[in-house]
A and B are shown apart, each in its own frame.
Chain A
Amino acid sequence: MADRAFSATRLPGFATIAIGAFVLLYLPIITLVTYSFNATNSISEWGGFSWQWYIKAWDNDAVKAATANSLIIAVSAAAIATAVATAAALGTTRRKAYRGQTFIYVVINQPLMVPEIVTAVALLIVFGVVKEWSGYQGLGYLILAHAAFCTPFAYLPIRARLEGMDLSLETAASDLYASPWQTFRHVTLPLLAPGIMAGAMLAFVISLDDVVITEFVKSGGQDTLSTYMLGQLRRAFTPEVNAISTALLAATVLLLIAFFLLTRKRD
Chain B
Amino acid sequence: MKRLLTATALLLATTGLARAEGVLNLYNWGNYTSPELLAKFEAETGIKVTVTDYDSNDVALAKIEAGGHGFDLVVPSANYVPIWVEKGLIQQLDLARLPNHANIAPEWRDVSWDPGRAHTIPWQWGSTGVAVNTSVYTGNINTSAIFLEVPEELKGKINVVPEMNDIVNLAVMYAGGEPCSEDTAVLQKARDLLLAAKPDWISMDYGATERLSNNDWAASVNWNGSTMRARLANPPVAYGYPQEGYPLFMDSVALLSDAQNVDAAYKFLDFIMVPENAAMISAFARYANGIAGSEPFMPEDMKTAPEVVIPAEFAAAGVFLPTCTGKSQEYITAIWTELQK
Contacts and interface: CB of A to CB of B under 8 A. Distances in A.
Nearest to A235: B31
Given A136-B16, A230-B30, A231-B30, A223 B53 contact: yes
A220 B63 contact: no
A234 B226 CA distance: 11
A184 interface: no
B68 A223 contact: no
Interface size class of B (residues with CB under 8 A): 35 or more
Contacts of A121: 62
A45 interface: yes
Contacts of B62: 121, 124, 216
Interface stretch (A77-85, A104-112, A127-135, A188-196): A127-135
Interface size class of A (residues with CB under 8 A): 35 or more
Contacts of B229: 236
B66 A221 contact: no
A233 B210 contact: no
A262 interface: no
Interface in B286-331: 286
Chain A interface helix/strand/loop/mixed:
helix
A232 B50 contact: no
Contacts of B29: 231, 234
A126 B225 CA distance: 39
Nearest to B33: A62
A234 to B, nearest CB: 5
Most buried by A among B31, B35, B50, B210: B31
Interface string B24-64: 01010111100100000000000000111111000100110
A235 B32 contact: yes
Contact of B12 (A62, A134, A219): A134
Interface in B213-236: 213-214, 225-226, 229, 233
B28 to A, nearest CB: 9
Nearest to A131: B68
Given A45-B213, A129-B68, A235 B285 contact: yes
Contacts of B68: 127-133, 137, 219
Interface in B153-194: none
B55 A231 contact: yes
Contacts of B82: none
B51 A62 contact: yes
A233 B35 contact: no
Interface in A117-155: 121, 124-125, 127-138
B143 interface: no
Contact of A231 (B12, B53, B67, B209): B53
Interface of B: 11-12, 15-16, 19, 25, 27, 29-32, 35, 50-55, 59, 62-63, 66-71, 209-210, 213-214, 225-226, 229, 233, 285-286
Interface of A: 42-45, 61-62, 121, 124-125, 127-138, 215-216, 218-223, 227-228, 230-236
5 contacts: A42-B214, A137-B15, A220-B50, A228-B30, A232-B31
- Shortest 7 CB-CB contacts between residues of A and residues of B: A231-B30, A131-B68, A231-B53, A128-B66, A220-B25, A221-B50, A135-B16
